[in-house]
Structure formats: C-alpha cells, structure tokens
Amino acid sequence: MILFSDEAGIKLEPKLGSIWSLKGEQPKVPTNSSWARVNLTGFVDPVRGTIMVNTMVKGNSENFVKQLDLILEANKDKRMITLYVDNAKWHKTNLVKEWVVKNPSFKLEYLPKYAPDVNPIERHWWFLRKHTTQNVLFETWEKCWETIKFHFDNLSPEKIILLCQI
C-alpha cells in the first residue's frame, strides 16, 4: 500500500477568493478577526481512492507519531505500508525514526524538497479550500471541522483518484 501525507491548516476566518455578485454591488464576506484554525493531517491512497483526514493540535513529531499509529491501526491487514511525506523537521526526528524501526511493516519515504506538486494530497487541500472553505466564516472550531469532515466523507473513490493525478 502506498500513501501520501501532508499537513494543512484551515483558518476559521474566510480565505478570500473569487465570488459572484450583481453588477455594481460589492460582495461582503463577514469576518471576526480570529487567528484560530483547524490543523489537519491527511493520508491519501491514489490507487484505491481512499483518504483519511484527522486533526492534530500542532505539527510536531509526537503528534505525527500518533497519526502514524492511526494509519497502522486502520491498515493492519496490509503487509507493507509505504508513506511519502515532505521534509518537515518533525518527520525526521529520532522519535519518528524509532517508531519506524519498531514497525517493520511501515516504510517512510521523503519527497523531494520544495516540491509540493509531486504530493497528491496537496491537490486535495486545494480542492477543500476552493470548493468548501473559501469565503466562509466559521463561528467555531467544531463547525469548521464538521464542514471539513463532510467534504472528505462525500468524496467518491473516483473523485479522490482523479484529484491525485498529476
């Protein structure tokens, strides 16, 4: 099994983008000046068309290892899992290396530096922002996470595979 992973953050504040309005009218997008955000970790299988997205408090090696445990548990029937990640510092710590040694059915590979275009999950983050969270003000962290979950829960395997294509 081959998976690609990445982290992303979705702010509760609207990310402004193109929006339709009547000619001569200025569109209005509400805001409340919050710095809050939902931190995400995603794992996509571009062959089977599956995606798993979880929240985490922040990007660090402890939280990354917790996500690796979830992936291993969800795929315990797989003989080998190869996970491709970017070069974030928390992907290369001793804690992560020790976890990989303790889990021989798991292989961690690093994508080229500064090359997000080769990571299929990046296109899923773009699609989430473009079609679900752009120009939206979320009143609470829970409402934002609920919207994100709904987005990913309603992607078909065919759509997941399509978005993974380079």
The pTM of this model reads 0.88
Q: What pLDDT digit, counting tens, does each position of 18-69 carry?
A: 777 788 887 777 667 677 899 999 999 999 999 999 999 988 999 999 999 9
The pLDDT of residue 105: 95
Sheet strands side by side (includes 81-85)? 50-55, 37-45, 2-11, 81-85, 106-110
| CB of 17 closer than 8 Å to CB of 135 | yes
Q: What is the pLDDT of residue 16?
A: 67
What structural domains and CATH numbers belong to the chain?
2-16+31-164 (3.30.420.10)
Q: How far apart are CA 6 and CA 139, in angstroms?
A: 26
Question: 55, 62, 61: which is closest to 41 by C-alpha?
Answer: 55
CA separation for the pair 134, 72 (Å, rounded): 32
